[in-house]
Amino acid sequence: MRARSRVGLPLAAVLLLSACGSTVATTNAGGPLQQGQPGFNAAPGAGSPAADGLGGPAVTAPGGTTGGSTGSTGSTGTFTGTTGGTTGTGVGGSTTGTTGGPAGSGTTGGTSAQGVGPGVTATEIRLGIPYCSDCAAANAALGAGGEDPGDTRRYAQAALDDVNSRGGVLGRKLVPVWHEISASDNIEASQQEACETFTKDNKVLMIFFRGEITYECGKKAGIVVSGDSGSGPVFARYPNMFAAAGMRFERLAAVTVKAMVQAGWHKPDTKWPTGKIGIVSWDNTDYRYAMDKGWLPAMREAGLAAPLVKWVAIPQSDKGIADAGPAISSAVLAFRQAGIDHVFIADGPAGIFTGAGLTLLFLQNAKSQNYYPRYGFNTNNAPDFSSHPQDQLVGMIAIDSFDTAATNDAGIALNPQRERCFAIMRKKGLPVAQAQTQQVAIGSCEYAWFAEAIIERAGGTLLSQMIAGGEALGTSYRSPYNYGNRIGPGQHDGVALFRNLMMDAGCSCLKYTSKPYEP
């Protein structure tokens, strides 16, 4: 199996776990789902109003679920104004436009002199981008290493140079403001320090970092934050936060249970005869909300018995990872003693981990205790992570939204955004062959291209305009991480399309069992 990049998302600062990829064979029937066909995402950038609607034509998920309701048509940049009522020539833009007033017609091309967001000058738009100098070494220490990307700022600058070579955004260059963090530092302290850098020392228009401290910081400063996923209440508290390549925890939980039931994963089998289910999860309010509003209701609706649930404290730095060991070991032992042979791992961004940390630690511990249940995985488990103990994955079935390697496109068209991103990096002499370098490359392209898309669509740089611009993207923005995205009012978590896959014991490899579909 190859390693592919994974949930560092547009926050690829704390990359403690760069994950995954695989050599994947396909069992798809029928023709490929073409990304360029009507109903699929347009190329990233300049707010071109592509036809929205991941769902039209609808794609039927295995088991009979029809995915893909028609999306709303993308806006061309006209919003009701909130900041004034005068018309003026945009500063640094090429088009005269209005940012406010009753009619509220704002034309993409410039920001009104009366309403300029933080970090914006006549020639520049500044973005807050953290970078980690020791995360590659920390990953390697966990057994999740790979190519060392070196100074990750080179990747982010290459992606920004791509946008700037095409004229920048609203006639301005995208300029990074850097903030260094370390895997050995407490993540919440790092978020607070980054807040100071991006809102006081150097003002920026957008921040690319995760965590509620960052989201609150951006909200107070009138800044959009491109962060990670979280529970529904997090998105409700922070309307300034977008997670283009993420999915709300409770929504992902429900999708996972539904996919497993449709695939028959839960049924007793010769190798896993009890059919009893256990769930191990990170322990904080977000993951408890996802348990109460996602995992447990979905299981009840499917007629499944109540699972045994175990909780693990979240490490806030690399020094705290060992502290999670006893809780994980206890969960493995409890599952074995209860006769549980089907396991969900409710994983995702948490503390020092950007994703799949709990999964890797649980699989390693289960192997050490000679415990081999059948796993039901999703994107946050990184089902094709090459560092997972492969004998633990026998019987595993998964639903995955990540499209970060060519092998993920078996039977369908290549992800054009990912391939374009890798080409940009190779042209700059930057490696993108495996694991950590792919993670950094894709995360860097997400920085630049999501900033380009949301600002262009907004046609202005005030927070209200940026939020409206993000919500008007619909499916026109395709993240280099994913098969397809949808962002709109009430949905700032952008993942829309998934593929089903399974571990094939015959070849000890992963096989896709569906085309991308919207569950």
Residue 16 has pLDDT above 50, yes or no: no
Percent of the chain, pLDDT > 90? 64
> Helix H segments across 12-132?
none
Whole-angstrom Cα distance, residue 124 to residue 377? 43
Flag whether 275 is in a domain: yes
* Residue 279: its H or E element: strand 277-282
Average the pLDDT over each of 15-24, 110-119, 246-255, 438-447 and give the range with the smallest value: 15-24
Whole-angstrom Cα distance, residue 398 to residue 439? 21
Residue 54 has pLDDT above 50, yes or no: no
CATH number at residue 386: 3.40.50.2300
Q: Is there a contact between 144 and 387 (Cβ–Cβ < 8 Å)?
A: yes
pLDDT value of residue 387: 86
Whole-angstrom Cα distance, residue 41 to residue 342? 36
pLDDT value of residue 423: 97
Average pLDDT over residues 188-193: 91
Residue 11 has pLDDT above 60, yes or no: no
pLDDT value of residue 132: 86
pLDDT value of residue 186: 85
Strand 87-89 and strand 124-132: pairing? unpaired
* Residue 66: its H or E element: strand 66-67
Q: In which domain, by residue range, is 297 found?
A: 249-405+499-512
Where do we find the tokens 């796993």? 375
Whole-angstrom Cα distance, residue 65 to residue 498? 13
Half-sphere exposure of 219 (CA within 13 A, CB side): 16
Flag whether 160 is in a domain: no
pLDDT value of residue 385: 85
pLDDT in tens, 69-105: 333 333 333 222 333 333 333 333 333 333 333 333 3
Count, residues in the chain: 519
pLDDT band (50, 70, 90) for residue 409: very high
pLDDT in tens, 144-168: 666 678 899 999 999 999 999 999 9
Q: Is there a contact between 231 and 249 (Cβ–Cβ < 8 Å)?
A: yes
Q: What is the SS3 assignment for 436?
A: helix
pLDDT in tens, 460-496: 999 999 999 999 999 999 999 999 999 999 999 999 9
Average pLDDT over the chain, rounded to an integer: 81
| Residue whose C-alpha is closest to residue 5's, from 149, 116, 170 | 149
Whole-angstrom Cα distance, residue 214 to residue 369? 39
pLDDT value of residue 144: 62
Flag whether 231 is in a domain: no
Flag whether 171 is in a domain: no
Residue 53 has pLDDT above 90, yes or no: no
Whole-angstrom Cα distance, residue 23 to residue 25? 7
- Give the CA diameter of the chain: 73
Residue 281 has pLDDT above 80, yes or no: yes
pLDDT value of residue 103: 31
Other residues' Cβ atoms within 10 Å of the Cβ of residue 200: 10
As to burial, measured by CB atoms within 10 angstroms (0-12 exposed, 13-18 middle, 19+ buried), residue 25 is middle
146 — alpha (psi -120 to 50), left (phi > 0) or beta?
left
Domain count, the chain: 1
As a three-state string, the secondary structure of 368-415 is: HCCCCCEEEEEHHHCCCCCCCCHHHHCCCEEEECECCCHHHHCCCCCC
pLDDT value of residue 28: 33
Flag whether 28 is in a domain: no
Whole-angstrom Cα distance, residue 475 to residue 50? 8
Flag whether 339 is in a domain: yes
| Residue whose C-alpha is closest to residue 485's, from 247, 276, 266, 255 | 247
Cα–Cα distances in angstroms (integers) from residue 233 to residues 7, 238, 297, 378, in the given order: 21, 9, 17, 21
pTM above 0.75?
yes
Average pLDDT over residues 386-406: 93
pLDDT value of residue 266: 97
Whole-angstrom Cα distance, residue 407 to residue 23? 6
Flag whether 507 is in a domain: yes
Flag whether 395 is in a domain: yes
